Amino acid sequence: MRLVRAALELCVEQGYQSTTIAEIAERAGLTRATFFRYFPDKREVLFAGQEEHAALLTAGIQAAPPGATPLQTIATSLDALTATFTREQHAWGPALIATVAASEELQERDARKTAVLTAAMTSALVERGTPEPSARLAAELGSLALKRGFARWAHDERDDTATFAEHTRAALADLHVAATTLA
């Protein structure tokens, strides 16, 4: 959406700290009041979609076949989320990653987003009958795979959703192999 794009453009041009809500709204061709209809503060514009992402992951887990293992269920769930990403989000990817990496405040918000998505996946797995701590661990792997998949997709010239799904599934598979070789 326009406010997110405007915010990222300004962060790239002048940094997150120097960017004001008024500037973001102006760049988006909107008023400051309109900004506050969508977001409570400047930080939130960069984490737009957290609740929808959590809902998509939950729905993906609920839709997985009854006999699916926790990891297969997580893979289905990640597919459901990655399928909603657009070429525009791919194009913003490197700017978003660099902006978050440059600010402790944004890293903190990012850590909360990860915790929210992990908690949503854990709850949905537990509701399917996956016992703790398997549910939590599978959800952690899912969140890590998503983060790694996004970073790889952002820096991949292929900008289609299938590529995001592919990187995320590959990251999940790598993490699963790693999980069997820790002891």
Contacts of 8 (CB under 8 A, 6+ apart): 46, 92, 95, 96, 99
Q: Pick the piece of the chain touching a copy of itself (CB under 8 A) from 45-53, 59-67, 86-94, 137-145.
A: 137-145
Name the nearest CA neighbour of 35 among 3, 62, 78, 81. Answer: 3
Give the span between the Cα atoms of 21 and 28, in whole angstroms: 11
As measured in angstroms, the least distance from the Cβ of 140 to a copy of itself is 6
Q: Give yes or no for residue 98 binding a copy of itself (CB under 8 A).
A: no
The residue count for binding a copy of itself (CB under 8 A) is 31
The letter for the amino acid at 150 is F
Stretch that binds a copy of itself, among 29-37, 83-91, 132-140, 152-160 (CB under 8 A): 132-140
Is residue 17 involved in binding a copy of itself (CB under 8 A)? no
Smallest separation (angstroms) from a copy of itself to the CB of 82:
19
Q: 74 near 63, Cβ under 8 Å?
A: no
Scanning residues 54 to 73, which ones bind a copy of itself (CB under 8 A)?
Answer: 69-72
Q: Toward a copy of itself, which CB reaches closer, 2 or 148? A: 148
Residue 83, amino acid? A
Nearer to a copy of itself, 7 or 71 (CB): 71
Cβ-based nearer residue to a copy of itself, 89 or 122: 122
Tell me how far apart the alpha carbons of residues 137 and 131 are, in angstroms, rounded to a whole number. 10
At 9, list the tokens.
């453009």
Least Å from the CB of residue 130 to a copy of itself: 9
Asked if 176 touches a copy of itself (CB under 8 A), the answer is yes
Q: Which residues contact 101 (CB under 8 A, 6 or more apart)?
A: 107
Give the DSSP letter of residue 64: S
- The residue among 142, 151, 16 whose CA lies nearest residue 73 is 142
Provide the binding-site residues for a copy of itself, judged by CB under 8 A.
69-72, 104, 107-109, 111-112, 114-115, 133-134, 136-138, 140-141, 144, 148, 171, 174-176, 178-183
